[in-house]
């Protein structure tokens, strides 16, 4: 075995009969002898020449690049992507493979004296699953307890982000259920696809969401066609905890006097992404006194929002931002005793409690698409009612 510069790469000597497990579509070599097979993953700051150094001469690497160029540019390699190389007993390249992404693999094969390149494509196998569970501490914990990944909790929180503050409004005994596409490649789960329908039970209140792809694009709606999207998100952080609420008289932990606290403090680790609560324009992006590094956004109808004590700012003054766009990260700049976000909102210049604001919904399903929506809604909500586990698999790209 021979170590190479590429991360995780190794060389094997294989007989022609042992090579078929990796290059089963390549014809056997014309003469007996051991193959040199190199397999591994692309490391940081790696070029193809350095990846194959010691196995192929530079001139052969250049031929490989030129042969692949019509279908893929090997000058750009992605860190962590697997590759494989087979060098024949005559010392010449026999085959090369490189995983472009989950569904595409570049394959360069020797055909006589020439090299032939092609991109082999696969499709996801899509299975509709129906996980659900009781919430005892957090949505994250409930989702992982059901056997699913954290990403599903994030996706589910995105759907209900306009109606539910996941930092304050979940209680022990609440529950969730979701009908979600799970994407597989060669029998292995890769990632989640679309959430087709979801429900969140909070005490005696049941919130349901249905995905509908209409003329205005994809969105989530209540079963009656009302859009779940609203002008303002319930929170600019997906998951955290409130340490201080809107108050006209709060003891300041640094100044040691009772002062109004006209915002909401969310405790979260430094670096936690902070998102815009609504569409708007950046009015301030920089230092703002006791708020430290801060962003102030100007919104429609006389609203502004402020995000204070940031460790990082990702926007600039005058920039237009969309709801949910990352504008910075949690920190403890300015007058702060620990990492948190100070989130404030004004309307026509007067401070208002962000937790009590009533945000109007976006446009409902158009009347011209209502019949199609009701049919889709009925079918997708049935997945929540009838499917206790993985549903029948369906295939799509």
Question: Residues 259-313: pLDDT tens digits?
Answer: 577 889 998 999 999 999 999 999 999 999 999 999 999 998 899 999 999 999 9
Q: Which residues contact 222 (CB under 8 A, 6 or more apart)?
A: 207, 208, 209, 210, 228
Domains in the chain, ordered, with CATH?
10-121 (3.10.450.350), 126-230+365-395 (3.10.450.350), 241-352 (2.70.70.10)
Question: Residues 11-40: pLDDT tens digits?
Answer: 444 444 444 434 444 444 444 557 788 888
Question: Residues 1-18: pLDDT tens digits?
Answer: 333 444 455 444 444 444
CB 276 within 8 A of CB 325: yes
189 pLDDT higher than 90:
yes
pLDDT at 90: 78
Contacts 24+ apart (CB under 8 A), 240-246: 240/167, 240/266, 240/267, 240/268, 240/272, 240/341, 241/167, 241/168, 241/266, 241/267, 241/268, 242/167, 242/168, 242/266, 242/267, 243/267, 243/340, 245/353, 245/355, 246/351, 246/353, 246/354, 246/355, 246/356
Helices (H), the chain: 48-51, 58-68, 139-145, 150-159, 370-386
Q: Say what the pTM is.
A: 0.65
**How far is it, in rounded angstroms, from Cα 388 to Cα 220?**
22
Question: Residues 336-365: pLDDT tens digits?
Answer: 888 999 999 999 999 999 888 877 778 899
Length of the chain: 397
**How far is it, in rounded angstroms, from Cα 323 to Cα 159?**
13
Mean pLDDT for the chain overall: 84
Tokens, residue 228: 């779940």
Cα distance from N-terminal residue to C-terminal residue, the chain: 39
124 pLDDT higher than 80:
yes
List 220's β-bridge partners, or say none: 211
């Amino acid at each position: 075995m021979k170590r190479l510069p590429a991360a995780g790469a190794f060389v094997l000597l294989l007989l022609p009969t042992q090579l078929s497990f990796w290059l089963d579509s390549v014809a056997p070599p014309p003469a007996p002898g051991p193959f040199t097979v190199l397999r591994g993953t692309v490391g940081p700051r790696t070029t193809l020449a350095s990846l194959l150094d010691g196995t192929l001469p530079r001139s052969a690497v250049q031929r490989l690049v030129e042969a692949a160029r019509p279908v893929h540019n090997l000058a750009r390699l992605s860190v962590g992507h697997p590759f494989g190389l087979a060098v024949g007993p005559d010392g010449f390249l026999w085959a090369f493979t490189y995983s472009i992404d989950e569904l595409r693999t570049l394959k360069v094969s020797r055909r006589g004296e020439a090299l032939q390149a092609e991109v082999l494509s696969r499709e996801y196998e899509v299975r509709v699953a129906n996980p659900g569970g009781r919430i005892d501490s957090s949505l994250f914990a409930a989702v992982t307890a059901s056997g699913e990944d954290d990403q599903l909790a994030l996706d589910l929180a995105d759907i209900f982000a306009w109606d539910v503050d996941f930092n304050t409004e979940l209680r022990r005994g609440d529950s969730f259920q979701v009908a979600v596409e799970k994407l597989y490649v060669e029998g292995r789960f890769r990632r989640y696809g679309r959430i087709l329908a979801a429900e969140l039970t909070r005490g005696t209140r049941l919130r349901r969401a249905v995905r509908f792809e209409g003329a205005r694009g994809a969105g989530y709606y209540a079963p009656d066609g009302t859009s779940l999207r609203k002008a303002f998100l319930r929170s600019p952080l997906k998951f955290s905890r409130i340490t201080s609420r809107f108050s006209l008289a709060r003891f300041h932990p640094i100044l040691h006097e009772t002062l109004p606290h006209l915002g909401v403090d969310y405790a979260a680790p430094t670096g936690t992404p902070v998102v815009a609560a609504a569409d708007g324009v950046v009015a301030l992006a920089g230092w703002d006194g006791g708020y430290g590094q801060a962003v102030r956004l100007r919104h429609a109808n006389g609203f502004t929002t402020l995000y204070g004590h940031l460790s990082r700012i990702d926007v600039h003054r005058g920039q237009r931002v969309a709801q949910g766009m990352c504008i910075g990260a949690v920190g403890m700049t300015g007058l702060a005793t620990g990492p948190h976000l100070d989130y404030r909102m004004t309307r026509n210049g007067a401070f208002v409690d962000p937790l009590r604001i009533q945000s109007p919904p976006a446009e409902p399903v158009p009347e011209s698409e209502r019949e199609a929506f009701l049919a889709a809604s009925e079918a997708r909500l049935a997945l929540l009612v009838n499917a206790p586990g993985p549903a029948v698999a369906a295939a799509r790209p």
